[in-house]
A and B are shown apart, each in its own frame.
Chain A
């Protein structure tokens, strides 16, 4: 549904998006994850047909964003980061305007459906200026789905609204995935983890990692991060014992035990248990530490930053 090849955006000499390639299937929810200024918004703007790429191609439903821009725009619903509204219009008038502009054949029914979808039906005659920020966000979402687009692109849809609304917002993004391909950006990691089928981590305009949240976690191999608690040894002994094991990168005291990190690619589980047992000590606790996306993210971004 979305097919991006070597997409690049330059602003003068600044490289905002650096030859990124990815694809998204119909019905997939893809999260663009990255710190501010990583190139998320630029990527999205190129996909919506707002601005042309400097290099590379992007196709939405088979239409190129450069050569078939109008066809692409018909098939994309877009909610920019700051919800753009006309304060003097009514909720219904606003959604109707966008429906008509995007050539919806039965605007009345579609507007009603979109308002229903974002639960704004009971406020349809209110002026947009009187809506709270969270409600404006929902209005923005209604505008983005009113023409029943194949692809919905949401730029940081949960920013600046209260926690209850954030949860509702995530819910509505999940529901969107039932009918549309969703591309949404965020810099909140747990959000991407909860909502997305697949996450693309973007840093300095490049995709540095991608995959399902669970796969991403697994990409850092099993045994990569263990928590070990040893009985019958003082801190010093246990620490040096663990540090000596082949493949161990670092050992840190954590509570009553140790957090042991392996070098990339090394499976240290067997070695750790054998060494501890071999030294005549008791292995009181021994478990892999599941890395959250946050850890992975910091890991990757940290590595990129250092490079």
Chain B
């Protein structure tokens, strides 16, 4: 697995050297800051602070951020020709994909960690429901990993970063909006099945309300495994073209 580690390290260096990562970080912190401020205003007068405020926002934001964070990863390698060198280096194809995925997830984790500062602010002025918040953070951490895995898959599929970003946004948006389809279907069984397949279905009614359920962890974990498996196969297919 040392190949994955070396690729992970390079990608991390790449993230912290690229403007897009900082821009996304800036935007996320700015928007979550504003959200937190307005929530704090409510909390001062009408109701307690919402523990899953930031995670719930990120559940939406990741639909757009995950593709931006991952679009470069394999598309650029393919375009620049470095993929050919990677594929002739003594590492497994899976190490290439996993190394890249873990670096994206790591960067996202750092970003998520930065938003945890709001919990410390709350701790300083009141008694927030920390258990609920941590639960929501665990959920959005897994949720983010799954969206990033989708991004990696589409980055592997094309040489064009923009195409990769739009394709993964489309799929993520579909996985996100399918929740609405579930709500308008009258047949209860079908509605439940649809809900079980969506990104939101495993977040809003479980992690976001302070529940950690095995089925939700399995859903996001499974999504990551499937997406990465497919991405590895796509990378491998470069050998057969």
List A residues at the B interface (Cβ < 8 Å): 11, 45, 48-52, 70-71, 73-74, 76, 78, 80, 82-89, 93, 97-98, 100-103, 143
Q: Is the CB of B17 within 8 A of A88?
A: yes
Candidates B14, B81, B83, B91; contact of A101 at CB < 8 Å: B91
Which chain A residues lie closer than 8 Å to B84 at the CB level? Answer: 45, 50, 80, 84
Main secondary structure of the interface of B (DSSP, over half): helix
Q: Is the CB of A85 within 8 A of B240?
A: no
A82-B81, A85-B82 as given contacts; A48 in contact with B88, CB under 8 Å: yes
B86's nearest neighbour on chain A, judged by CB, is A101
Sample (11) of A-B pairs whose CB atoms are under 8 Å apart: A51-B241, A73-B89, A76-B88, A78-B88, A84-B81, A87-B80, A88-B18, A98-B89, A101-B7, A101-B89, A101-B91
Q: Is the CB of B88 within 8 A of A86?
A: no
A253 to B88, CA, bound (A): 54
Residues of chain B from 170 to 204 with CB closer than 8 A to chain A in the complex: none
* A89 surroundings in chain B (CB, below 8 A): 10, 13
Task: Please pick, from A45, A48, A88, the residue contacting B14 in the complex, using a CB distance under 8 A.
Answer: A88
With A52-B239, A88-B14, A97-B10 known as contacts, the answer to whether A102 contacts B89 (CB < 8 A) is: yes
* Complex interface: chain A residues within 8 A of B18 (CB): 88
Query: How far does the Cβ of A298 sit from chain B's closest Cβ, in whole Å?
Result: 32
Q: Which residues of A contact B14 (CB under 8 A)?
A: 86, 88
- Interface pair B88/A100, CB less than 8 Å apart: no
Q: A72 → chain B, closest Cβ, in Å?
A: 8
Complex: chain A residue closest to B96, CB-CB: A101
CB pair B89–A51 under 8 Å, yes or no, is no
* Contact for B90 among A52, A80, A83, A102, CB less than 8 A: A102
Q: Are A98 and B90 in contact (CB under 8 A)?
A: no
How far is A51 from B239 in the complex, measured between Cα atoms in Å? 4
Bound CA–CA A68/B83 (angstroms) = 20
Scan residues 79-124 of chain B and give those whose CB is less than 8 A from a CB of chain A: 80-92
B3 on the A face (CB < 8 A): yes
Contacting residues, chain A, for B2 (C-beta < 8 A)? 103
A49-B87, A84-B84 known; 15 new pairs, CB 8 Å cut-off, are A50-B87, A51-B239, A74-B90, A80-B81, A80-B84, A80-B85, A84-B82, A84-B83, A86-B10, A88-B18, A97-B6, A98-B85, A101-B86, A101-B89, A102-B90
Residues of B within 8 A of A11 (CB): 241
Kindly identify, within residues 10 to 59 of chain B, every residue whose CB is under 8 Å from any CB belonging to chain A.
10, 13-14, 17-18
On whether A50 and B88 interact (CB within 8 A), knowing A88-B17, A100-B6, A101-B3, the answer reads yes
A255 CB to nearest B CB, Å: 49
Q: B239 to nearest A CB, angstroms?
A: 5
The 5 nearest A-B residue pairs measured at CB? A84-B81, A84-B82, A73-B90, A48-B88, A74-B90
Q: Contact: B80 with A84, CB < 8 Å?
A: yes
A102-B6 Cα distance, complex, nearest whole Å: 10
Cα separation A48 to B14 with both chains bound (whole Å): 27
Interchain CA distance A93-B9 in the complex, whole Å? 12
A85 touches B80 (CB 8 A): yes
A73 CA / B93 CA spacing, docked (Å): 13
* Shortest beta-carbon distance from B80 to chain A in Å: 6
- Chain A residues with Cβ below 8 Å from B83 are 84
The reply to whether B90 and A50 form a contact with Cβ atoms under 8 Å apart is no
Which residues of the partner chain B approach A87 to less than 8 Å between Cβ atoms?
Answer: 80
* A residues in contact with B91, CB < 8 Å: 101
User: In the complex, which residue of chain B has the Cβ closest to the Cβ of A88?
Assistant: B17
Chain B residue at minimum C-beta to C-beta distance from A47? B88
Is A70's CB under 8 angstroms from B85's CB? no
